[in-house]
């Protein structure tokens, strides 16, 4: 028997979801078939704005780019923010679904690329819409204000902070807390992952221009080869993790791209590296970045590179801090979910090495407590996020996601 008062609404919640399931599946398939890249979410924002309007929200568009804010007021009480991200990825879809994306666009460097919802943001948006529909239909069971946030540009880590900078909290009210979820193909269908404290890693992306002195392949002694230097740097970066980051601390360095040279018999002047780092503690971030700078500078000097040709490091505007769940807030949400959904569906997770810009919503002064959850979508096919073959069962995802976010929100809103 379920004793928590919020569990009394489970019957109404299940009935509501089943009544709306077909239209929500149609919404999901529409979003999936029409993905939009970061900072280009024009159509998606329009769809989400209309969904919020139909749910009775006061809707504002164009907040931090194409961000949408729906405000649902229902008397005096807590202000709860619920956020979903909208953007897709430059990946050509290979799922074979009847509603698969066939969209192609020109990338910033002029290449034609496919566009795909390979990270579940289409399901996040559908769950947000379904949660808005349900909570607006049961206003007799709660009091307070809900801010429904459809956020742009999560994949470029610019959407959350831009919404805040453009007045999210000053225009619509500072929330008492914030909720978000993310699909998790490494958890069984319907499982809910949570943890207190650091949940996902911080990240930095940087470009390194490794400069040398170009020349003929027949006379490498008359050149200073940046390709050899770049290879040395890539290998030495890994010793930062194995020999400098303290044992027991987490850090990663990945060189995701290397570009240099145009001809078999020509030594180029430059090689370009694209580097990503991950960390849980800011001190580890600082150590890794300082070590990258040191290795670049002194390895280049030992390679005979002149002072005016030392490597150049440029940070990309895609940094995110570690995402931290507020322990007190999490301790309010999780017992309600355990009571209403069943303890067997709750799973305390280890910190994730992936990154997420939801943390920016809480990184203000004073901080806003956040609770971020993972929604299991199944582990059968072994395919993870950002794969061209990633897909979910929309019916299961919608049922479980709308129930999860609705119950989480009700656990933080005031009873009438």
Q: Among all residues, which ones are annotated catalytic?
A: 85, 155
Q: Cis peptide leading into 366, omega within 30 of 0?
A: yes
What does the alpha-carbon distance between residue 300 and residue 226 come to, in Å, rounded to a whole number? 9
Alpha carbons within 13 A on the beta-carbon side of 258: 13
> How far apart are the two ends of the chain, measured CA to CA in Å?
23
C-beta separation of 337 from 346 below 8 A? yes
Q: Which of 194, 147, 85 is nearest to 413 (CA)?
A: 147
C-beta separation of 45 from 68 below 8 A? yes
């Amino acid at each position: 028997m379920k004793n928590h008062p919020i569990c009394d609404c489970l019957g109404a919640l299940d009935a509501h979801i089943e009544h709306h399931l077909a239209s929500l599946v149609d919404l999901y398939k529409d979003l999936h078939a029409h993905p939009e890249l970061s900072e280009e979410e024009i159509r998606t924002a329009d769809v989400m704005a209309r969904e919020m309007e139909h749910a009775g929200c006061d809707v504002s568009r164009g907040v931090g780019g194409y961000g949408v804010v729906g405000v649902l007021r229902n008397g005096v009480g807590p202000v709860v923010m619920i956020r979903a991200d909208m953007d897709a990825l430059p990946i050509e879809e290979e799922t074979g679904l009847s509603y698969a994306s066939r969209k192609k666009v020109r990338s910033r460097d002029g290449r034609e690329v496919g566009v795909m919802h390979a990270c579940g943001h289409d399901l996040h948006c559908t769950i947000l819409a379904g949660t808005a529909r349900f909570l607006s239909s049961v206003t007799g069971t709660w009091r307070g204000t809900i801010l429904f946030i459809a956020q742009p540009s999560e994949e470029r880590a610019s959407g959350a902070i831009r919404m805040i900078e453009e007045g999210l909290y000053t225009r619509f009210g500072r929330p008492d807390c914030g909720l978000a979820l993310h699909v998790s193909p490494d958890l069984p269908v319907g499982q809910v992952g949570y943890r207190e404290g650091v949940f996902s890693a911080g990240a930095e992306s940087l470009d390194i221009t490794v400069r040398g002195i170009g020349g003929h392949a027949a006379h490498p002694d008359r050149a200073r080869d940046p390709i050899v230097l770049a290879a040395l740097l890539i290998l030495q970066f890994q010793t930062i993790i194995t020999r400098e980051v303290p044992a027991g601390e987490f850090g990663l360095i990945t060189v995701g791209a290397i570009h240099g040279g145009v001809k078999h018999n020509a030594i180029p002047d430059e090689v370009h590296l694209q580097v990503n780092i991950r960390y849980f503690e800011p001190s580890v971030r600082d150590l890794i970045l300082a070590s990258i700078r040191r290795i670049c500078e002194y390895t280049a000097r030992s390679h005979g590179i002149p002072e005016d040709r030392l490597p150049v490091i440029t940070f990309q505007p895609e940094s995110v801090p570690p995402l931290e769940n507020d322990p007190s807030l999490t301790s309010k949400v999780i017992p309600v979910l355990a009571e209403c959904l069943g303890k067997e569906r709750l799973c305390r997770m280890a910190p994730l090495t992936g990154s997420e810009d939801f943390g920016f919503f809480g990184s203000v002064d004073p901080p806003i407590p956040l609770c971020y959850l993972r929604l299991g979508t199944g582990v059968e096919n072994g395919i993870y996020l950002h794969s061209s073959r990633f897909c979910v069962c929309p019916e299961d995802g919608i049922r479980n996601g709308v129930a999860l976010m609705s119950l989480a929100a009700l656990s933080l809103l005031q009873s009438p």
